Structure 1
Amino acid sequence: MLTLHLTPIFKARRIEKPYTFLVKAGLSPHSATSIINNKGRIFRLDHIELLCDALNCEPNDLLLWIPDSNKNYPENYPLKNLKQPESAEDWQDALSKMTYKELIEATKKGTNEEKQ
């Protein structure tokens, strides 16, 4: 089953009021509520584009695939790319545990990747 996976993105972007953020980004109040509550069955392409633009992410970042426990999927099943790790460490906690030198190196790596 495909579902929206916005909570980690909101947390990473330090968005404390997702509803307000989405409405200010251009979604209608009804659409913002549906998206936050993961109630929508139809996901418009212009909403995907708006979310990606506002959250600075890719469409794959917005989606989470939850496999059906009654099915066996081949190892190369394409939707497995949308399966999030089961225990992802909070990035802020990870950063707080890094030494200053590790932070500098990570910043350098990020800057070099952006230039390429």
Structure 2
Amino acid sequence: MLSLNVTEICKIRQIERPYTFLVKAGISPHTANDIVNGYSRAIRLDHIEKLCEILHCEPNDLLAFKPSANVKITDNHPLNKLIPKQSEFDWQQTLKTLPLEQLKEVADFINKPKENKED
């Protein structure tokens, strides 16, 4: 079953109140509630576009796939790419505990112009 992955994206983006964030971005309160609580069974394309815009992501980032027990798909099926990977890595905690010199290196890497990153 496909579902929206908005709550997880909000966690990654450090958005503490996803519902409020979505409403302030122009999504109706009813739709925002459905999105945040996983009640959406259908979503309009303009909402997908708005979510991608405000969360700085692609449509595939918004979708998560959980295979149904009664439906089998092959291991090489494209939907498998949408199965969320469980990650125990807490990058925020890691950044908080990095030595200052390493933190400066991370900042330098992030701030490098794009053309230099490809070298």
Does TM, scored on the shorter chain, surpass 0.5? Answer: yes
Deviation at 1:46, TM superposition (A): 0.7
What whole-Å deviation, never above 9, does each CA across 1:49-78 have from its counterpart, x for those lacking one?
010011111111111111223444222101
Aligned to 2:114: 112
Distance 1:114-1:3 versus aligned 2 partners, 3 A rule: farther
Once the two structures are superposed, the pairs formed by residues 4-19 of structure 1 within 5 Å of their partners are 4-19=4-19
Q: What amino acid sits opposite 2:82 in the alignment?
A: L
Aligned ranges for residues 77-96 of structure 1 at < 5 Å? 77-96=77-96
Residues 114 and 8 of structure 1, relative CA distance in 2, 3 Å threshold: farther
Name which of 87, 99, 103 aligns with 1:100. 103
* Cα drift, residue 84 of structure 1: 1.5
SS at match of 1:53: helix
SS at match of 2:60: helix
| TM-score, normalising length: structure 1 | 0.81
* TM-score, structure 2 normalization: 0.79
Quote the RMSD (CA, aligned, Å). Answer: 2.5
Q: Which protein shows a greater Rg?
A: 2
Asked if residue 20 in structure 1 is aligned to residue 20 in structure 2, the reply is: yes
Specify the alignment match of 1:75 in structure 2.
75
Distance 1:97 1:69, change over 3 A: farther
Contact 1:2 1:63 in 2 (8 A): yes
Please state whether the residue corresponding to 1:64 is helix, strand or coil.
Answer: strand
Q: Which amino acid aligns with 1:100?
A: L
Comparing 100-109 with 77-86, greater Cα deviation is found at 100-109
